[in-house]
Amino acid sequence: MKKRNKGVVIILVLVFTMAISTMAIFLGIRAKQYLSLFSGIKKESEIENIAEMGIEIGKTLLDTAQKKHMISEDPGYIKKEYELDNKKIEILITDENGKINPNRIFGSEKGEIHTRLLEVYKRLFSVMGYTENLSDALLDWIDEDDIPRMSGAESTFYIASGFSYTPPNRPLYSPEEMLLIAGFTENIVFGNEEKKGLINFITSFSDGKINVNACQPEVLNALGFSVADIEKITSERTRRPIEERFLLEVNKEAYLNVRDIVVFKSSYFIISSCVTDIDGTRKEVKAYVKRTDKSMETIRMDIR
């Protein structure tokens, strides 16, 4: 009887030992998983902090460029790259006053339209070789009503076409949002080797004014300047920032026609700081900045 009890005890001890061993192995695996997860979170947090540091560097670069009237090789853009502890930091400053903001076509009062900006917006699509189907579809996406324009698209079209969503009828949050609009494709929005994308000319962050010192030739064309005018303007601004007097000499009629939406100095910028480490982990921070001669204010931050 005692031998039988002893055997049972031995079996129970073995079962208990196996259970403890299995639990130890399981806990070891879980511990490694948690440590790996924690390490990944710590790594992402570190990269994000460096990206935010890049934003501060970008603000300093922007402030210096504006105060010293520095001329960029690519008007409307400042690009810098840095290396830090095997991490690549790419800083891009985009002058949003060098682009057209369709949000500003609509005034604060219901039904209020900024006709001059609307004309320039429409001409941009024509300059780029696009029909009114696209320009009207974008306007229908952001206007307050659900009444489609002549060549536009509102909720009825989206539902009939099988879209899982309809126009939000609110201001464009970012130019990338154009990908959701009927008729817009990646090539149209981002461009390709043969043609620039609309993202180079459209913004959602500005006061609606267009800086002729920062805009692309296509936007100058949309403003009403001829090819010959544009050659003079782009040539002059490689030497010094152009002023009103110069535009009056180049094409007085074209300039006076859009004078109320033209500026010679910018206030709205997007600073992008992208950090990539040796393993390919990537983090991007975007700061939407309003700058005046006296201050620089961050309106919003996006982290991706």
What's the rounded mean pLDDT across residues 93-106?
97
Cβ neighbours of residue 168 closer than 8 Å, sequence gap 6 or more:
141, 142
pTM comes to 0.83
The pLDDT of residue 76 is above 60? yes
Nearest 5°: the CA angle 187, 177, 284 is: 90
pLDDT at residue number 149: 96
The model's confidence at residue 71, banded by pLDDT at 50, 70 and 90, is low
Which of 15-29, 52-66, 272-286 has the lowest average pLDDT?
15-29
pLDDT value at residue 27: 37
Percent residues over pLDDT 70 in the chain:
86
Positions of E strands within the chain: 77-84, 87-95, 210-211, 262-263, 268-276, 282-291, 296-303
Asked if residue 23 has pLDDT above 60, the reply is no
pLDDT at 112: 86
The confidence score (pLDDT) of residue 24 equals 40
Three-class SS of residue 13?
A: helix
Confidence tier at 45 by pLDDT (50, 70, 90): confident
Mean pLDDT of 254-269: 97
- How high is the pLDDT of residue 10? 53
Confidence of residue 44 (pLDDT cuts 50, 70, 90): confident
At 144, list the tokens: 């307050």
In whole angstroms, what is the distance from residue 191 CA to residue 178 CA?
13
What interhelical angle do 227-236 and 244-258 show, nearest 10?
Answer: 140
Sheet of 282-291, strand order? 77-84, 87-95, 268-276, 282-291, 296-303
* Dihedral sign, Cα of residue 253, residue 260, residue 195, residue 88: positive
Domain ranges (residues) in the chain:
2-96+268-303
pLDDT of residue 1: 52
CA dist 124 → 135, 141, 223 (Å):
9, 18, 8
Confidence of residue 4 (pLDDT cuts 50, 70, 90): low
What is the reported pLDDT for 16? 46
Q: What is the mean pLDDT of residues 55-83?
A: 87
User: Mean pLDDT across the stretch 289-300?
Assistant: 94
Of the two residues 231 and 67, the one the predictor is more confident about is: 231
Task: Give the residue-averaged pLDDT of 274-299.
Answer: 93
| CA gap 119, 117 in Å, rounded | 5
pLDDT tens, position by position, 179-212: 999 999 999 999 999 999 999 999 999 999 999 9
Helix residue ranges per DSSP H, 207-265: 217-222, 227-236, 244-258
The mean pLDDT value of the chain amounts to 88
26-43 pLDDT per residue, tens: 434 444 443 344 444 567
